[in-house]
Structure 1
Amino acid sequence: MMNFSEHLCFKTYAASRYIIGLYKPFLDEISLTYPQYLVMVVLWENGSMNISKIGEFLHLDNGTLTPLLKRMEKNGLLTRVRSSADERKILVSLTEEGTALKEKASHIPEAVQNCIGISSTKNAQLLSVLDELLSIQTTK
């Protein structure tokens, strides 16, 4: 049997918790949780989109996203509007406040990368392996 420390599930879980923890002080400065930050990054990069498309980017279902988006709307960061063409679809858009937050958050990726302290080569390798793993998930 494999040792506990050799289990992929443990290593990925522990690494994920570590990295998310590194984001916390930076996100506290701009009053965002980590999941909210991920939503904001998707919207900053892609503009308005429906909830299911956001879910595709973040690998989250509508049941997880809806309460998160409601809180973000209540905090004035985004709006949710039902499509007139298809009432089942809800278009999510950034407010002025949400758009302005992009500048305040622009330093976060580099700051977290500096905290991790691995070389850009190792970072690229890690991203490549994770992309490969995620692509397997989306094809099943």
Structure 2
Amino acid sequence: MEGLFDDDCFAIRQAARYVSQLYDHHLENVGLTITQFSLMGRLKRMGPMTMKQLAEAMRMQRTTLVRTIQPLRRNGLVSSAALGPDARALSIALTAAGEERLVAGRERWHAAQAEFEHRFGEQRAAALRSELFAITRDSI
């Protein structure tokens, strides 16, 4: 067990599960997961994107992205349209209903953020965010 506490991957994944559960708990009130909320927020900021662009922007495998998008499409929160003659090349866009749900989700997201920062400390949370973003920014 001693080596477990020196394991960066285990520590990061354990913390990620804890934080994900906190945010998911808040977002369940609006019927979204954290991944769906993040994806919809990305579409709001960036506009329609191809599946490839969205997968790269979200740092997700394409199959995981498809599983995330399916319920959003089914619920009318995102739309997809073929780009040109190749029906496999899809553009994904946020719908008006999706924008409304995103607005509702933001309130819950901010509540989750406030709860985390209250538990962990505002300054520590800011420092943690900075370090975590540095991992992905510096690794590519």
Q: How many angstroms does 1:9 deviate by?
A: 1.1
Q: How many angstroms does 1:49 deviate by?
A: 1.2
What residue is the counterpart of 2:58 in the other structure? 58
Q: Give TM-score scaled by structure 2 length.
A: 0.86
RCO higher in 1 or 2 (8 Å CA, sep ≥ 6)?
2
1-structure distance, mates of 2:138, 2:76: 36
What residue is the counterpart of 1:124 in the other structure? 126
Is the Cα–Cα contact under 8 Å of residues 52 and 61 in structure 1 kept in the other structure? no
CA RMSD of aligned residues (A): 2.0
- The sequence identity of aligned pairs, in percent, is 24
In the alignment, structure 1 residue 135 sits paired with structure 2 residue 137: yes
Q: How many angstroms does 1:38 deviate by?
A: 1.9
Within 5 Å, give how 1:1-140 maps onto structure 2: 3-84=3-84, 87-116=87-116, 117=118, 118-137=120-139, 139=140
2-structure distance, mates of 1:86, 1:50: 12
Task: Please list every run of 5 or more consecutive structure 1 residues that lacks an aligned counterpart in the other structure.
Answer: none
2-structure distance, mates of 1:5, 1:110: 31
